[in-house]
Structure 1
Amino acid sequence: MTAGDSIALQEVGEHPLGYRVVDLMLGGGRCHFLPNTTASSCRADSRDVTKLAQEKYGWTYINSRAEFDDLKSGKNVKLPLLGLFSDTDIPFELDRRNMNDIYPSLDEMARTALAALEAATKDSDKGFFLMIEGSRIDHAGHGNDPAAQVHEVLAYDRAFQSVVDFLDNSDTEGALVATSDHETGGLAVARQLHASYPQYLWYPEVLANASHSAEYLSRALRAHIEKTNESGKKLRHFVENKLVEEGLGVMDATDEEIELVISNPALSAYAFAEIISRRAQIGWSTHGHSAVDVNIYGYAAEALRGNHENIEVGGFLRDYLNVDVDAITSKLNSTSRASSEVSLLAAGMGDQALFGHYEERLQKNLPQ
Structure 2
Amino acid sequence: MKLGIVGLPNVGKSTLFNAITSAGAESANYPFCTIEPNVGVVSVPDERLDVLEKMFNAAKKVPTAIEFFDIAGLVKGASKGEGLGNKFLSHIREVEAIVHVIRCFEDENITHVEGNIDPLRDIEIIDLELILSDLEIMSKRLAKTEKLVKNDKSLKKELEILKIIVDTLEKGNPVRSIEFDEEEKKIIKQLNLLSNKPVLYATNISEEDIISETDNEFVKQVKAHASKEGSEVITLCGKIEAEVSELEDNEKMEFLNELGLKESGLDKLIKASYKLLGLISFLTAGPKEVRAWTIKEGTKAPQAAGKIHSDIERGFIRAEVIDFEALKGCGGYPQAKEKGLLRLEGKDYIMKDGDVVEFRFNV
Q: TM-score range by the shorter chain?
A: under 0.3
Q: TM-score, normalised by structure 1?
A: 0.27
**Which structure: greater helix fraction?**
1
**Which structure: greater strand fraction?**
2
